[in-house]
Amino acid sequence: MHMLLSLTLLHDAYLLHPISPQTASIHQTAALQHWNTATTLFNAILSRPIPASSRDAVWATGALLGAAVFAYVEPSHPEEAWPLKPADPTDLDWLKLGEGKKAIWSIANPTRPDSMFRALARDLNHLQLPTWATDPDFEVVPGCWKRVFDITPTTTITSSPYCFPVIILSRLHGLSLTHENILDFLYFIAYMPTDFKTLLECKDPRAMLLLLWWYRKLEHGDLWWIHRRAALEGRAIEIWLERWFGVAEMPRGCRDGEDWLKGGKGMALLRGTFRRDERVVERVVERVVSPVEEEEGEHRECAECPVQ
């Protein structure tokens, strides 16, 4: 109940912010208080054997917690958001929470016959990859992105950390986010390879491009708990790419990355027609593990990056 109240108050804060930021702040503070209480109670429940009658409630609470983590964005400006802000252990917490949700999944097992969430869980079972992932059709991937992300006919989801995200985003081409198709968009994080998560933590430029594309798709949807993070961190990633690699920002009306994938201006963009650097795509690819330096600091190579 506390987690449900928290998410409801976050929704109120989202709606109130354009009208009365001060009132929105009050609702957000109340939401965090309920969130704290819910987390304390939830941890206590998970620390002891869970009755069969409580397993659906446990899974639902975990789902609400995941939505709240994605919805709550503390920064107000892109410069204060990841990846531009100073490194912090809480960076990408919304993504790291996925591992905890997998543990809750195994405890609650929403695929069991008596679960009220059985039909939903069957469509979002992270333990069983869909056939289009295990046997991907690379025909849906535009040729320019195959080149940027080194996708070949022999590439598999285990041989390349970029393969699955590229397949997902290519399948989303032409779709707009709605309540009815939200699962198609959540596949991007539900089945995200561990190596790809590591690349994001390392701020690998190709991984950042894919995350930006996903954010752009989410930003133009109609789900309130997704919009703010997608817009704010999406803009922060654009600034980061421009700062390090001279990449011009993705057009604001570019819902599918269509201009980035096909002819005209999109191909010019991929070929390197940028404000600072005519070979920016090549620079992005070459600098996966060869960071550049700025006047006031360094972008350090991550020793755990799987692409080295």
pLDDT (tens digit, 9 = 90+) per residue, 48-103?
Answer: 999 988 999 999 999 899 999 999 998 989 999 999 999 888 899 898 887 777 78
Residues written for the chain: 308
Segment 157-171 shows an average pLDDT of 89
Of 69, 33, 34, 61, give the one whose Cα is nearest residue 45: 61
Q: Domain residues for 68?
A: 1-127
Q: How many percent of the chain have pLDDT more than 90? A: 36
CA–CA distance, 238 with 242 (Å, rounded to integer)? 6
Statement to judge: residues 223 and 270 lie in one domain: yes
- For tokens 């970029």, the residue is 162
Question: 293 - beta bridge partners?
Answer: 298
Residue 127: its pLDDT value, please? 61
Last residue of a domain, one of 127, 161, 195: 127
How do residues 193-216 score in pLDDT, each as one tens digit?
899 999 999 998 889 989 998 998
Ranges of beta strands (E only) in the chain are: 293-294, 297-298
How far is it, in rounded angstroms, from Cα 126 to Cα 129? 7
Tell whether the model's pLDDT for residue 288 goes beyond 50.
no
What is the C-alpha separation between 281 and 288, in angstroms, rounded?
11
The model carries a pTM of: 0.79
DSSP type of residue 177: -
pLDDT surpassing 50 at residue 180: yes
Average pLDDT over the chain, rounded to an integer: 79
Question: What's the rounded mean pLDDT across residues 129-150?
Answer: 79
Question: Do residue 200 and residue 302 come from a single domain?
Answer: yes
CA dihedral 67, 69, 75, 81 (to 10 degrees): -100
Confidence tier at 263 by pLDDT (50, 70, 90): very low
Do 25 and 155 reside in the same domain of the chain? no
> What is the tally of structural domains in the chain?
2
3-state SS, residue 220: coil
Can you tell me the distance from the alpha carbon of 167 to that of 287, in angstroms, rounded to the nearest whole number? 23
Q: Which residues make Cβ contacts (< 8 Å) with residue 164, sequence separation at least 6?
A: 133, 157, 191, 192, 193, 196
252 and 155 share one domain? yes
User: Residues 155, 66: one domain?
Assistant: no
pLDDT score, position 125: 64
The pLDDT value given to residue 190: 83
Q: Lowest mean pLDDT of 85-99, 133-147, 256-270, name the range.
A: 256-270
- Based on the fold, state whether residues 104 and 159 are members of the same structural domain: no
pLDDT for 295: 35
Distance CA 116, CA 139 (A): 38
Q: Predicted confidence band at 145 (pLDDT cuts at 50, 70, 90)?
A: confident
Q: What is the model's pLDDT at position 296? A: 38
- If asked whether residues 118 and 267 sit together in one domain, one would say no
The Cα–Cα gap between 210 and 190 comes to 15
How many other β-carbons are positioned within 10 Å of the β-carbon of residue 124?
17
122 and 17 in a single domain? The answer is yes
- Do 59 and 136 reside in the same domain of the chain? no
Instruction: Kindly provide the b/e burial profile for residues 79-99, where b requires at least 16 CB atoms within 10 angstroms of the residue's own CB.
Output: eebbbbeeeeeebeebbebee
In a shared domain, residues 121 and 142: no
201 neighbors 95 (Cβ within 8 angstroms): no
Averaged pLDDT for residues 234-245: 86
- Using alpha carbons, select from 184, 152, 183 the residue that is nearest to residue 169: 184
* pLDDT surpassing 50 at residue 261: no
Q: Are 259 and 223 members of one domain?
A: yes
CA-to-CA dists, residue 114 to 16, 90, 119, 127, 293, angstroms = 39, 36, 11, 19, 57
Of 80, 105, 127, which one is at a domain's C-terminal end? 127
**Token pair of 8 as six digits:** 């409801």
CB 158 within 8 A of CB 133: no
Task: Average the pLDDT over 262-268 and give the result.
Answer: 38
Min mean pLDDT across 120-124, 284-288, 290-294 is at 290-294
Report in angstroms the alpha-carbon separations of 182 from 162, 190, 219. Answer: 22, 12, 13
In the structure encoding, which two tokens stand for residue 163, read together?
């393969």
Question: Of 120-124, 173-177, 179-183, which range is least confident?
Answer: 120-124
Q: In the listed set 82, 99, 127, which residue is the last one of a domain according to the structure?
A: 127
197, 263: one domain: yes
Range with the poorest average pLDDT among 82-91, 186-195, 273-282: 273-282
